Amino acid sequence: MASRILVPMDDSKLAGQALEYALDNFSDADVTVIHVVGVPSSLMGEAAGLALEDNIEEAAAERAEPAFERAREIANERDREIDTIVGVGHPARNIVGRAENYDTIVLGAHGADRSRMVRRFLVGNVAETVSKRAPIPVIIVR
């Protein structure tokens, strides 16, 4: 049985459902929520904003806090505790890079509710990339 679960989380409905699934189905496991900030884009949007900050780690933690607040609410509803970590950069690389420290990854099929094209080519690729490259089992929640 899996004892350490990694749940990538953004502000999407499916990310919340993935956390609910992990908490409900792995009741004895330690659950860690990761939020990755600074996702690259064609204009380097959030990544460029982070690069301009005096303290990148502090700025990343501030940007991750809304996702972590939501994650804590979901965990509290189930009388569970979670750990949180912040990643900076490309979401799929961050998740796969940390995978060896966990037994299973549980993530939503799509991330943040963005335009259909962006979701398909960027966000949808996160679940696909993680499922193909992770050295551990991956559960994709729809």
- Alpha-carbon distances, residue 68 vs 25, 44, 62, 113, 129 (angstroms): 20, 24, 10, 17, 23
Residues 120, 84 contacting (CB under 8 angstroms): no
> Residue 83: which CATH number?
3.40.50.620
Does 23 have pLDDT greater than 50? yes
Q: Which of 18-22, 47-51, 53-57, 124-128 has the highest mean pLDDT?
A: 18-22
Does 42 have pLDDT greater than 60? no
Per-residue pLDDT, averaged over 22-28, amounts to 97
How many domains does the chain divide into?
1
Domain holding 36, by residue range, is 4-141
Does 49 have pLDDT greater than 90? no
pLDDT at 46: 53
